[in-house]
Amino acid sequence: MPRLIMAEVLYGVNVHTGQIVNYGDRTVDEVFAKLQHAGIRIIRFNLSWDRIERQKGQYQFGETDRLVKAANKHGFDLLAVVSGTPSWASANGHDTANPSSSERWKIFLITAVQRYASSISTWQIWNEPDIRKFWTGTPQEYVRLLKTAFHVIKEVDPRLQIVSAGLDGNGEKYLETLLENGAADACDIIAYHLYPPSTRVAELRINGAKALLQKFRVTKPLWITEIGWQTGGWPSGPGVVKNEEVKALMVSSVLPTLEPYADALFWYRAVDVPGMYGLIEYDNGKLRDLPAFAAFRRAARAAGGTER
């Protein structure tokens, strides 16, 4: 099993499994080589239950296998985000719903974790359940989902690390509810998301999260599993800035400011189409490093993620 090599602050990036795999093996290898040389140590990616088990008991791990193989080749640790309920297992037919059967959730987890236990060190349970786009269950249902996953995964291999879902939209209030319902007892790491318009807002929000952890006497690591900015490719989305130069300035100012508060910082996301969150732009089959990539590389190396 890969071992998490902790720098003073662990720097990672997000990739979207279906997107990056569709770029082709050569492009994936080129992207991962760039990230490796930048001192990035860990890749966060989506391991989507609804894409892998579209039909009950029939698993399609091909995309995930290709991504895991490429990442392991370059020596990355991996953080898998398990989310998305298949329609056949959903309480209401949607991928955002609580599973109708905890048994099917357990079976999928056992299948996935046994397959990748030697390749994936860290498992995050769901994404942004505080936003109804991703989760329509209650906070209490999410905590039950997390507790089930914690016990199932630890039974497969107790060395594996469990991360709670990153929170964004209504993060502070939702985090308090999760902690009230025992979420901290069902994970090794607490996660949070930030798309702040300024350094000041970033500090305010991270301090709010840290204050809640102190209130509930939680001393576990805090990982920011998504942080990023975009230049208007999604005008109504979070983290819009004027241009790529401003995006790079935000990286240089905000990320080092957050280092005293967080144990890991994951950029969302490594490679993307023009105008979006990418550190590297993919356009018409070509890769182009953006100014934010150089800024992120400097921050990662300064934090102890040496070039490999």
The band of 284, judged by pLDDT with boundaries at 50, 70 and 90, is: confident
**Residue 123 scores a pLDDT above 90:** yes
Express each pLDDT in 127-160 by its tens digit.
999 999 999 999 999 999 999 999 999 999 999 9
* Among 295, 299, 300, 289, residue whose Cα is nearest residue 31: 289
Q: DSSP assignment of 17-76, as one string?
A: HHHHHHT-HHHHHHHHHHHHHTT--EEEEEEEHHHH-SBTTB---HHHHHHHHHHHHTT-
Give the rounded percent of residues in the chain with a pLDDT score beyond 70: 96
Express each pLDDT in 186-234 by its tens digit.
999 999 999 999 999 999 999 999 999 999 999 999 999 999 999 999 9
User: What's the chain's average pLDDT?
Assistant: 94
- Predicted local confidence at residue 256, as pLDDT: 95
The band of 5, judged by pLDDT with boundaries at 50, 70 and 90, is: very low
The band of 2, judged by pLDDT with boundaries at 50, 70 and 90, is: very low
Mean pLDDT over residues 239-243, rounded?
Answer: 97
**Residue 94 scores a pLDDT above 50:** yes
The band of 77, judged by pLDDT with boundaries at 50, 70 and 90, is: very high
- Predicted local confidence at residue 249, as pLDDT: 98
Express each pLDDT in 178-196 by its tens digit.
999 999 999 999 999 999 9
- Predicted local confidence at residue 238, as pLDDT: 94
Per DSSP, 184 falls in state G
What domains are defined for the chain? 10-302 (3.20.20.80)
CA distance 92 to 304: 46
- Predicted local confidence at residue 233, as pLDDT: 96
